[in-house]
Structures are given as structure tokens and as C-alpha cells.
């Protein structure tokens, strides 16, 4: 696997300690809110402002090194899994998010009947439902 330095250089980004720290946090996996990323980055670096973390996430997302998702009703979250057009399933009960592979693979995986002349490059698919934990809680309440 490429190191953080190699990833940054491959996208023409300057290698900085905050960028390396954010990449390392994202590489641990999951869909993380900025607050959580900032907390974990601070475990690695002495001082880093929330604004600096936002700036890094913006640069990484523009360079295709992180992906930003924003399910309705939830703060923006960031992940390191990029470039595979995977989708997300979100729990209506607790907000937990999981990855689901795209059945088609490449974007856009859905074609509208009428594209209004647009050249489409992505269909943002979010599946909503209840996670196993919320389901069992619910049946326990019955
Ligand atoms: Zn849930
Ligand atoms: Zn994901
Ligand atoms: Zn798909």
C-alpha cells in the first residue's frame, strides 16, 4: 500500500504533517465526522485547529484522496475509500453508516429516463433502513 507521502506526492500535494495525520486517521476506516477526525489528529499532532482539519479535508477531497458524504440529517463525513463508486446504507434509528458495493461498478450506475441534455457522471445512491442493532432493540421493546 502507498504511504501517505506517496499518495500526496502522486496528486501533486505538498507533504505536511497535518495532511499525513488526517490521511492516517482516514486510513483506519469508517465514515468519520470532522469532530472525530480532529480528535484523532490531535492524538498524533500537538496542536491542530479544526479549521486546519477542514482545510486538509477539502484539499484531500479535491485531489480524490478522500470522499465526502453527507446523508440527509447528518453532518458531513469523510472516508478514505475512494474511486470505486460504492454506496452507503444509513440507519434511520442510530445513523450508523455502512458501505455497500455498487452492483454495476462504475458511475453513473443508474440512468434516468430523461437527462435533460446533461452528461451524467454520478448517481448518488443512499439506502435507508434499520441496522441489526436497532431492529433487535425494536423487537425487544414490543
Ligand atoms: Zn441503527
Ligand atoms: Zn463509504
Ligand atoms: Zn451503483
CA distance 133 to 6: 39
User: Which of the pair, 38 or 138, is modelled with greater confidence?
Assistant: 38
Question: What is the 84 CA–ligand 2 centroid distance (Å)?
Answer: 10
Confidence (pLDDT) at 107: 87
Question: What is the 112 CA–ligand 2 centroid distance (Å)?
Answer: 23
Beta strands at 126-129 and 87-91: parallel, antiparallel or unpaired: parallel
At residue 100, the 3 state secondary structure works out as strand
User: Which ligand is the nearest neighbour of the Cα of 131?
Assistant: 1
What is the arithmetic mean of pLDDT over 82-107?
92
**Count of CB atoms situated within 10 Å of the CB of 27:** 14
CA distance 13 to 120: 28
The radius of gyration of the chain from alpha carbons, rounded to an integer in Å, stands at 18
Residues 27-55: tens digit of each pLDDT: 999 999 999 999 999 999 988 999 999 99
User: Which ligand is the nearest neighbour of the Cα of 67?
Assistant: 2
Q: Look at residue 8 and tell me whether its pLDDT is greater than 90.
A: yes
Question: What is the 97 CA–ligand 2 centroid distance (Å)?
Answer: 8
pLDDT band at residue 104 using 50, 70 and 90 as cut-offs = confident
DSSP 26-92: HHT-S-EEHHHHHHHHHHHSS---HHHHHHHHHHHHHTTSSEEE--TTS--EEES--SS--EEEEET
Question: What is the 108 CA–ligand 1 centroid distance (Å)?
Answer: 28
Cβ proximity of 122 and 110 under 8 Å: no
Amino acid at each position: 500500500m502507498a504511504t501517505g507521502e506517496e499518495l500526496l506526492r502522486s496528486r501533486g500535494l505538498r507533504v505536511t504533517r497535518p495532511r499525513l495525520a488526517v490521511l492516517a486517521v482516514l486510513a483506519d476506516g469508517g465514515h468519520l465526522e470532522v469532530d472525530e477526525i480532529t480528535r484523532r489528529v490531535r492524538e498524533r499532532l500537538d496542536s491542530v485547529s479544526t479549521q486546519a482539519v477542514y482545510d486538509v479535508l477539502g484539499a484531500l477531497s479535491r485531489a480524490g484522496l478522500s470522499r465526502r458524504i453527507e446523508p440527509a440529517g447528518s453532518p458531513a463525513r469523510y472516508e478514505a475509500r475512494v474511486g470505486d463508486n460504492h454506496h452507503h446504507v444509513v440507519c434511520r434509528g442510530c445513523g450508523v453508516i455502512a458501505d455497500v458495493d455498487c452492483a454495476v461498478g462504475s458511475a453513473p450506475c443508474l440512468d434516468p429516463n430523461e437527462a435533460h441534455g446533461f452528461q451524467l457522471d454520478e448517481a448518488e445512491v443512499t439506502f435507508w433502513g434499520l441496522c441489526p442493532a436497532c431492529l433487535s432493540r425494536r423487537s425487544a421493546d414490543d
